[in-house]
Amino acid sequence: MDIVKNRLHSKTKPMALRLAISMALIAVLVFALGGLLACTSGSASDVVVIATNADAEAVEVMTAALTDAGFSGQFVFQEMGTAELGGRLMAEGTSIEADIITLASFYLHSSQNRDDTFLPLDSSKTTLDELPDYMTPILAITGSIFVNTELMEEDGLPMPTSIRDLADPVYAGNLAIADINSSSTAWLLIQAILDNYSEEEAAEIIQGIYRNADAHVLPSGSGPIRSVRAGEVAVGFGLRHTAVNDYESGMPIDFIDPAEGNYKLIEALAVIDRGEDTNPLALEMAQHILEGGRPKLQEHYPMQLFAGEEITPIHEIANQRTFPEPLTLELLEQHQAIVDGIVRSAND
Amino acid sequence: MPKGRIEVRVIYAAVILFFVAFLGVPLATLFVRAFSDGETANFTLLNFSQVFSHPDFLSSLTNSLFLSALAALITTSLAFVLACAVNMARLPQWLEKLVPIAIAIPALFPTITYGFAIIYTFGRQGLITEVLGGHQLFEIYGVNGLLLGYVIYTLPIAYLLIDNGFRYVDKRFFIVSRIMGDGGLKAFFKSIFIPLAGTLGAAFVQAFALSFADFGIPAAVAGNVQVLSRTLFDTMLGAVPSFEMGAVVAIAMLLPSIMSVLILTWLDRFNINYKKFSPISLSKSRFRDVSLSIYTITLLLLMLSIFAVVFIIPFVAQWPWDRSFSVEPIIATLTNAQYQIIATNSIMFAAITAAVGTVLTFFAALIARRGNMPKFFSGSIDTFAIATNSIPGMVLGVAFLLFFVDTPLQNTMAILVLCTLVHLFSTPFLMFSGAFSRMNKSWELTAELMGDSWFKTLRRIIVPNVLPTVFEVFGYLFIYTMVTLSGVIFLVSAHTTLFATRINQLAYFARFEEIFILSLIIFVLNLSMRILTRYGARKATARLHGSKVK
């Protein structure tokens, strides 16, 4: 009897109710996603995003500077390659996700010229190089040759003294460099070649170097020193200070300032101008990164940027050179095309 | 809209809506962008001619096709012999038990880990290189490294497919063939190889499609060999990003994958399923058993030895110079505030995707198998499921990026979850489909006659009966969400960084120590989830059978 009753009962249960139950089920699903959306985007807006192409050491220093200033939990770093971050900045302009950018200065230049991307910054410090007011330098990098002394001995290799030497076939398969299409460190190498040699000589040297490096043309500027450290190759060209630090810490690493001279790049910080939507914390943090972080940054990247800074003798460079033309994104693209052309013609 | 129960109709509408919104529309956007001018949005074929006339693109496409096919061939051959060893030889008991456990291990790591593990195993100062006295076996960057990575990645899947195929091959035919006077090889060919041809083809195509769409392995070991997934990444996020060109490359990547699925459907016809099969006692052959045992051990050892570095390097002070034991690197990572955020993101991402995905695939499969809908409607869900299987994660990621740019979904965790739900839909759907098909067809009707509502039936009868599958599906989704890189690489933001995408960033800076530490954390999380869900599934099965006995 009960069964019949129940059966009748379910038959008479209004359709609307059943519809409501199933709708409720779907609503749970939608709300789960919606709630998720709300909570992620809600918390996101207060947090300052700092996009950077800097190495781990620099990110650590900047993190410490901000944490010491009491910003813990209010910022997040987004680490990217130079080309990736630069590409994004050029493509997205002020709609980029980041609030603060630290990047090679020439990228910041090009972006500001095209899109008016950045806010002016006040700085009381005097920079050695003249820079526009919307950026402030945080560190400078310079390139050098370095070797793994154990491997050099093992493989019986001669010590290179110039970048030209790196094109010598004795280093075939034993050389690591960075890729100019993704790394600004690689540009230090190419600048040195293009500045010192004639067009034909430069083509020959670049060909030789790329042939020797082969699979060890690495995406990032810190790649070559890691390959040399890990013993994947004996010789590399990359960031000078990393090799100096390794040498000083007793690793079997030595560094050689090339006869062609050491070229340099400035990495700078800028704050995105979002008008009224600009996160007020961003400017404050920029100030703290510079003031709290610069002394430590200079320790890691020992080059003078501001008046009154000093460096230890081992980091002093006898033959510091500057490329004759101003460094711009357009010039980089020109050099990338030259290198691509040379490498491709060599492969054909 | 199918006629019938209102619940079924509403769920059907919701599932179809889900696919239209998160598969159909993004893909349509992808095609529109590929065929339109970046600035004026007019129709153009210029993007295609520009991409296809680029010499690097064509070499990248042919490299991808060739290397994936070669890797698939090697994988299928290795997997076939392994399946033969397990199914046709008398392996030692322990070995037979070990195979399914060992073969499941690589899937617990993201593929990007494979590449770095290869470098630290076979590189100049790699583990195996050192064991062999500093003699490097082969050049790892480029073709060799890619092939090795692809094979390790696809071997487990190929093996599982072939091993499953073996279950439907009646090995008595082999004996009959021998009795009728065929030689060993001929009998093997006729009674084992031919019936398995469809499965072998399927394993080949599956391995090909996975290698072709993979981003993690090339990201680590491709050297200067360009493959399509790298080209796509560089086009979308490189020095000169172009979404239009990226859309074209994505479409180029999509086509071979769609072809693969069509071939898979076609191959299905060649599967010969014997209705009756019984265990047979194998003839005695010491030579066969010993050689196949050695083969199995060697293959598993080789496969797993590559992952040894993941367990060693995190505990070493500074590889390769200072090899003293140290837990400092791990502690530094675990206490790092940034990594705590990444860990929270990753676990939340995997857990939410697994929970929502389990519910979604459960209902989709439920109405497709037990909704009493006309074939057209249940078939439409199957078609969507197959479609999700054919789309490489990166292509889906690009489509999502293009469609959801400047919407509130951009840069959120929700977009990651949605993209991954679509990306991983097919396998859990098939798992539930299988479970629902095996259940008695008349349960719902009986329950209804007894006066239970549809939801009551669901709760009291259907869910308890598929509970083991619910655990399996949850575990599958959690693990695969944790290791996915290709699907999320274009969608992560500063606030939604995940373990796998962080490894990709670290790869750029060549920070291997941290890469291995993160890989180890992923492995531990995934292994715990696997053990938990396996335990849950076993408990649920036991309960089910226990109540049946009563």
- Pick the residue of A23, A37, A214 with the most B CBs within 10 A to test the interface with B by mutation: A37
SS3 sequence, chain A? CHHHHHHHHHHHCCHHHHHHHHHHHHHHHHHHHHHHHHHHHHHHCCCEEEEECCCHHHHHHHHHHHHHCCCCCCEEEEECCHHHHHHHHHHHHHHCCCCEEEEEHHHHHHHHHHHCCECCCCCCCCECCCCCCCCEEEEEEEEEEEEEHHHHHHCCCCCCCCCHHHHCHHHCCCEEEECCCCCCHHHHHHHHHHHHCCHHHHHHHHHHHHHHHHHHEECCCCHHHHHHHCCCCCEEEEEHHHHHHHHHCCCCEEEECCCCCEEEEEEEEEEECCHHHCCHHHHHHHHHHHHHHHHHHHHHCCCCCECCCCCCHHHCCCCEECCCCCCCHHHHHHHHHHHHHHHHHHHC
- The answer to the question of residue B512 being in a domain is yes
Average pLDDT, chain B: 89
Q: What is the pLDDT of residue A7?
A: 43
Distance CA A283, CA A119 (A): 9
| Domain boundary residue, one of B244, B279, B306 | B306
Q: What is the pLDDT of residue B317?
A: 81
Q: What is the pLDDT of residue B20?
A: 94
Tokens coding B49? 């001619």
Instruction: Work out the minimum CA distance from B163 to partner chain A, whole angstroms.
Output: 37
Q: Are residues B269 and B359 in the same domain?
A: no
Q: Establish if B322 touches chain A: CB-CB under 8 angstroms.
A: no
In chain A, which among 33-62 make CB contacts under 8 A with chain B?
33-34, 36-37, 40-41, 43-44, 47, 49, 51, 55-56
Q: Are residues B436 and B520 in the same domain?
A: yes
- Pick the residue of A8, A10, A22 with the most B CBs within 10 A to test the interface with B by mutation: A22
Q: Are residues B439 and B530 in the same domain?
A: yes
Q: Cβ A79–B505 below 8 Å, yes or no? A: yes
Please say if the pLDDT value at position A9 is more than 80.
no
Q: What is the pLDDT of residue B124?
A: 77
Instruction: Work out the minimum CA distance from B536 to partner chain A, whole angstroms.
Output: 24
Counting residues of chain A whose pLDDT is more than 90, the rounded percentage is 49
Please say if the pLDDT value at position B447 is more than 90.
no
In chain B, which among 174-233 make CB contacts under 8 A with chain A?
223-224
- The answer to the question of residue B329 being in a domain is no
Across the interface, of B124, B360, B417, the residue whose CB is closest to A231 is B124
Q: What is the pLDDT of residue A2?
A: 44
**Mean pLDDT confidence for B268-295:** 75
Please say if the pLDDT value at position A250 is more than 70.
yes
Please say if the pLDDT value at position B27 is more than 90.
yes
- The answer to the question of residue B399 being in a domain is yes
- Indicate the residue type of A140: A
Average pLDDT, chain A: 86
Q: How confident is the model at residue B2 (pLDDT cuts 50, 70, 90)?
A: low
Q: How confident is the model at residue B277 (pLDDT cuts 50, 70, 90)?
A: low
pLDDT higher at B331 or B523: B523
**pLDDT per residue as tens digits for the range B236-255:** 887 677 888 999 999 999 99
Counting residues of chain B whose pLDDT is more than 70, the rounded percentage is 96
Chain A residue with the nearest C-alpha to that of B495: A44
Q: Are residues B235 and B377 in the same domain?
A: no
Q: How confident is the model at residue A92 (pLDDT cuts 50, 70, 90)?
A: confident
Please say if the pLDDT value at position B256 is more than 60.
yes
Instruction: Work out the minimum CA distance from A11 to partner chain B, whole angstroms.
Output: 9
**Mean pLDDT confidence for A271-290:** 91
Please say if the pLDDT value at position A11 is more than 90.
no
Q: Are residues B263 and B377 in the same domain?
A: no
Q: Are residues B138 and B277 in the same domain?
A: yes
Chain B residue with the nearest C-alpha to that of A77: B494
Q: What is the pLDDT of residue B273?
A: 60
Strand partners, A263: A321
B125 vs A contacts (CB less than 8 Å): 230-232
**Mean pLDDT confidence for B396-424:** 92
Q: What is the pLDDT of residue A50?
A: 95
Q: Cβ B11–A22 below 8 Å, yes or no? A: yes
- The answer to the question of residue B465 being in a domain is yes
Q: Taking a C-beta distance cutoff of 8 angstroms, is the pair A65, A296 a contact?
A: yes
In chain A, which among 202-221 make CB contacts under 8 A with chain B?
214-220
Q: How confident is the model at residue B210 (pLDDT cuts 50, 70, 90)?
A: very high
Q: How confident is the model at residue A32 (pLDDT cuts 50, 70, 90)?
A: low
Across the interface, of A72, A97, A222, the residue whose CB is closest to B509 is A222
Distance CA B400, CA B394 (A): 10
Helix (H) or strand (E) holding B473: helix B463-483
Across the interface, of A18, A36, A73, the residue whose CB is closest to B7 is A18
> Based on the number of CB atoms within 10 Å of its own CB, is B442 exposed (0-12), middle (13-18) or buried (19 or more)?
exposed
**Mean pLDDT confidence for A219-248:** 90
Tokens coding A174? 């034993």
Instruction: Work out the minimum CA distance from B320 to partner chain A, whole angstroms.
Output: 6
Q: Are residues B277 and B357 in the same domain?
A: no
Q: What is the pLDDT of residue A12?
A: 45
Please say if the pLDDT value at position A216 is more than 60.
yes
**Mean pLDDT confidence for B193-208:** 90
Q: What is the pLDDT of residue B139?
A: 84
Q: What is the pLDDT of residue A184?
A: 87
Please say if the pLDDT value at position B269 is more than 60.
yes
pLDDT higher at A129 or B523: B523
| Domain boundary residue, one of B306, B338, B373 | B306
Q: Cβ B452–A81 below 8 Å, yes or no? A: no
> Based on the number of CB atoms within 10 Å of its own CB, is A149 exposed (0-12), middle (13-18) or buried (19 or more)?
middle
| Domain boundary residue, one of B249, B276, B306 | B306
SS3 sequence, B365-418? HHHHHHCCCCHHHHHHHHHHHHHHHHCCHHHHHHHHHHHHCCCCCCCCHHHHHH
Q: Are residues B456 and B511 in the same domain?
A: yes
Q: What is the pLDDT of residue A230?
A: 83
In chain A, which among 91-120 make CB contacts under 8 A with chain B?
91, 95, 97-98
Instruction: Work out the minimum CA distance from A125 to partner chain B, whole angstroms.
Output: 31
Q: Establish if A80 touches chain B: CB-CB under 8 angstroms.
A: yes
HSE (CB half, 13 Å, CA atoms) of B72?
21
Q: What is the pLDDT of residue A1?
A: 41
Q: Are residues B546 and B454 in the same domain?
A: yes
- Pick the residue of A41, A92, A330, A343 with the most B CBs within 10 A to test the interface with B by mutation: A41
B495 vs A contacts (CB less than 8 Å): 40, 43-44, 47, 49, 76
Q: Cβ A215–B413 below 8 Å, yes or no? A: no
- Indicate the residue type of A306: F
When mean pLDDT is compared across A58-62, B112-116, B282-286, the lowest value belongs to B282-286
Q: What is the pLDDT of residue B223?
A: 79
A73 vs B contacts (CB less than 8 Å): 337
Q: Taking a C-beta distance cutoff of 8 angstroms, is the pair A122, A212 a contact?
A: no
Q: Cβ A98–B453 below 8 Å, yes or no? A: no
- The answer to the question of residue B341 being in a domain is no
A209 vs B contacts (CB less than 8 Å): none
A150 vs B contacts (CB less than 8 Å): none
Q: Cβ B241–A86 below 8 Å, yes or no? A: no
Q: What is the pLDDT of residue A88?
A: 86
**pLDDT per residue as tens digits for the range A130-187:** 888 999 999 999 999 999 999 999 999 999 999 999 999 999 999 999 999 888 899 9
**Mean pLDDT confidence for B371-388:** 89
Q: Are residues B99 and B159 in the same domain?
A: yes
- The answer to the question of residue B41 being in a domain is no
- The answer to the question of residue B425 being in a domain is yes
Q: Establish if A23 touches chain B: CB-CB under 8 angstroms.
A: yes
Q: Domain count of chain B?
A: 2
In chain A, which among 153-182 make CB contacts under 8 A with chain B?
181-182
Domain at B288, CATH number: 1.10.3720.10
A37 vs B contacts (CB less than 8 Å): 408-409, 412-414
- The answer to the question of residue B42 being in a domain is no
Q: How confident is the model at residue A45 (pLDDT cuts 50, 70, 90)?
A: low
Tokens coding A302? 């020992």
Q: Are residues B60 and B3 in the same domain?
A: no
Q: What is the pLDDT of residue B407?
A: 87
Q: Establish if A335 touches chain B: CB-CB under 8 angstroms.
A: no
Q: Cβ B494–A78 below 8 Å, yes or no? A: yes
A81 vs B contacts (CB less than 8 Å): 508
Domain, as residue range, for B168: 56-306
Q: What is the pLDDT of residue B193?
A: 86
- Pick the residue of A1, A4, A12, A36 with the most B CBs within 10 A to test the interface with B by mutation: A36
SS3 sequence, B92-148? CHHHHHHHHHHHCCHHHCCHHHHHHHHHHHHCCCCHHHHHCCCCCCCCCCCHHHHHH
Chain A residue with the nearest C-alpha to that of B503: A79
pLDDT higher at A84 or B319: A84
Q: Are residues B29 and B62 in the same domain?
A: no
Please say if the pLDDT value at position B521 is more than 90.
yes
B139 vs A contacts (CB less than 8 Å): 215
HSE (CB half, 13 Å, CA atoms) of B171?
13
Chain B residue with the nearest C-alpha to that of A8: B451
pLDDT higher at B146 or A18: B146
Q: Establish if A222 touches chain B: CB-CB under 8 angstroms.
A: yes
Instruction: Work out the minimum CA distance from A86 to partner chain B, whole angstroms.
Output: 7
Q: How confident is the model at residue B281 (pLDDT cuts 50, 70, 90)?
A: low
Q: What is the pLDDT of residue B550?
A: 37
